[in-house]
């Protein structure tokens, strides 16, 4: 991502701390690992559910009632709306209203969406919107990074969560979120400086953990390859830190990984929810689960299966609880940077494709996007 302090800050941090990791990853061609077995499943059928021929989308959310939401980050100069609900006739309806989607540079960003990265629907019929407020992936705009909770029953803002500078300061790009409504906590990744933001949804208190830990930093030894070359921009090779995130069904484990390598980690949520624990205690609860694929987002179903997108090979994979990796579908044309995921009550995995690697940032200022941007769904279970 060009203008990308992600590539500068992240790469510097990753190189500086690489010697601490002891977990040097190999290239994708050498990423075999004894913890998993590749199994093919040719039953996957991608169904297109939404397209946008103008603006780049990243996040997707399907609510318990089947309402579909999509978000658009303010990355390029061409930008209009930030969050939409997709109507039954495929129309884009600004959500929750036009005012929240009216931001222009120079406006105050506290009560408007500035640069929305993710949308997530929870089981209690709320929509959660992650706004890192980093226009073009630059520094946070006017301290307006936030987490917005919307009640989908009333379509009204329920609460706006903000973060102190020591948790999500001016160079922090919060990326994705998973909610534990049972215990009242949220977990967000930071893809710029590597780490996890933990937020108490009842009190609003938050903290930043695993900052610069090897599990949240992309391994500089891994060569993340798209379009036949290692991802790079005007500043050099791009390394993107902690990004994809998922919670186990019992909320006991938080799964996460850096974007531009193939290693997967998890950490016990017991030590994350207790704000009295030390960084060392948290690090001692991190588990390295081995090598799988380089993915952007990820999602876990009620049976403990973890779904990820293999960016380098344009496929969707499922990792079973016994660590077997199953290929559900592969499509080099349609699965162009599968980005974010959401699972519906009727057993579909919703997949947004953002074509990030086709952006001008990574192609010497040439836009290689193959329009339109698309959202698909894939049947993953017949259980309701």
Of 112, 91, 92, 116, nearest in space to 101 by CA: 112
Distance CA 140, CA 142 (A): 6
Query: Token pair for residue 172?
Result: 């922090």
Task: Kindly report, residue by residue over 72-107, the tens digit of the pLDDT.
Answer: 999 999 999 999 999 999 999 999 999 999 999 999
Predicted pLDDT at 39: 62
Residue 14 φ/ψ, nearest 5 degrees:
-65, -45
Q: Starting at the earlier edge strand, list the strands of the sheet with 263-268.
A: 242-247, 253-258, 263-268, 286-291
Residues of the chain with pLDDT under 50: 1-35, 42
How far the first Cα of the chain sits from its last, in Å, is 39
Q: What is the reported pLDDT for 381?
A: 85
What's residue 10's pLDDT? 37
pLDDT given for residue 383 in this prediction: 62
- In the sheet that holds 92-94, the strands lie side by side as 60-62, 68-71, 83-86, 92-94
Please tell me the predicted confidence (pLDDT) of residue 217: 98
- pLDDT by residue (tens digit) across 252-301? 999 999 999 999 999 999 999 999 999 999 999 999 999 999 999 999 99
- Indicate the burial class of 169 (C-beta count within 10 angstroms; 0-12, 13-18, 19 or more): middle
Domains and CATH numbers, the chain: 5-20+66-306 (2.120.10.30)
pLDDT of amino acid 200? 98
**DSSP character string of 10-76:** HHHHHHHHHHHH------GGG---TT--EEE-TT--EEEEEEESSS----EEE-TT--EEEE----S
Centre a 10 Å sphere on the Cβ of residue 99 and count the other Cβ atoms it contains.
Answer: 11
Cα–Cα distance measured from residue 166 to residue 297, given in angstroms and rounded to the nearest whole number: 25
| Bond from prior residue into 253 cis (ω within 30 degrees of 0) | no
Nearest alpha carbon to residue 252 among 324, 187, 167: 187
Cα–Cα distance, 216 to 196 (Å, whole number): 8
Residue 87 DSSP symbol: P
Q: How far apart are CA 108 and CA 140, in angstroms?
A: 12
What is the structure's pLDDT at 384?
52
Within a 10 A sphere around the Cβ of 285, how many other Cβ atoms?
16
Note the Cα 305 to chain centre separation in Å.
Answer: 17
What is residue 1's predicted lDDT score, i.e. its pLDDT? 45
* pLDDT recorded at residue 44: 75
């Amino acid at each position: 991502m060009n203008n990308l302090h992600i590539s500068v800050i992240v790469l510097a941090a990753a190189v500086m701390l690489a010697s601490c990791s002891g977990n040097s990853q190999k290239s994708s061609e050498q990423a075999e690992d004894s913890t998993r077995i590749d199994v093919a499943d040719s039953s996957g059928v991608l169904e297109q559910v939404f397209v946008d021929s103008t603006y780049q989308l990243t996040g997707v959310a399907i609510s318990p009632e089947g309402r579909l939401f999509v978000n658009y980050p303010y990355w390029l100069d061409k930008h209009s709306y930030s969050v939409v609900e997709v109507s039954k006739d495929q129309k884009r309806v600004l959500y929750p209203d036009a005012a929240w989607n009216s931001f222009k540079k120079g406006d105050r960003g506290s009560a408007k969406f500035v640069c929305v990265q993710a949308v997530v629907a929870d089981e209690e019929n709320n929509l959660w919107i992650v706004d890192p407020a980093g226009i073009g992936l630059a520094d946070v705009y006017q301290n307006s990074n936030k987490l917005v909770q919307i009640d989908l029953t009333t379509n009204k803002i329920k609460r706006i969560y903000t973060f102190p500078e020591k948790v999500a300061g001016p160079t922090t790009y919060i990326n994705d979120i998973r909610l534990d409504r049972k215990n009242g906590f949220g977990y967000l990744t930071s893809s710029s400086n590597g780490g996890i933001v933990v937020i108490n949804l009842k009190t609003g208190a938050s903290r930043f953990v695993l900052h610069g830990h090897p599990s949240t930093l992309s391994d500089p030894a891994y060569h993340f390859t798209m379009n036949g070359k290692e991802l790079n921009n005007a500043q050099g090779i791009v390394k993107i830190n902690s990004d994809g995130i998922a919670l186990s069904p019992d909320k006991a484990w938080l799964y996460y990984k850096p974007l531009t390598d193939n290693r997967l980690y998890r950490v016990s949520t017991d030590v994350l929810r207790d704000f009295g624990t030390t960084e060392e205690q948290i690090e001692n609860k991190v588990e390295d689960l081995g090598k799988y694929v380089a993915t952007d987002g990820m999602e876990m179903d009620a049976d403990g299966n973890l779904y990820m997108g293999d960016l380098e090979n344009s496929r969707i994979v499922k990792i079973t609880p016994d660590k077997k990796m199953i290929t559900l579908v592969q499509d080099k044309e349609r699965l162009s940077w599968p980005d974010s995921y959401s699972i519906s009550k009727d057993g579909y995995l919703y997949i947004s494709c953002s074509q990030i690697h086709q952006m001008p940032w990574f192609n010497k200022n040439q836009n290689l996007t193959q329009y339109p941007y698309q959202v698909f769904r894939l049947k993953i279970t017949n259980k309701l």
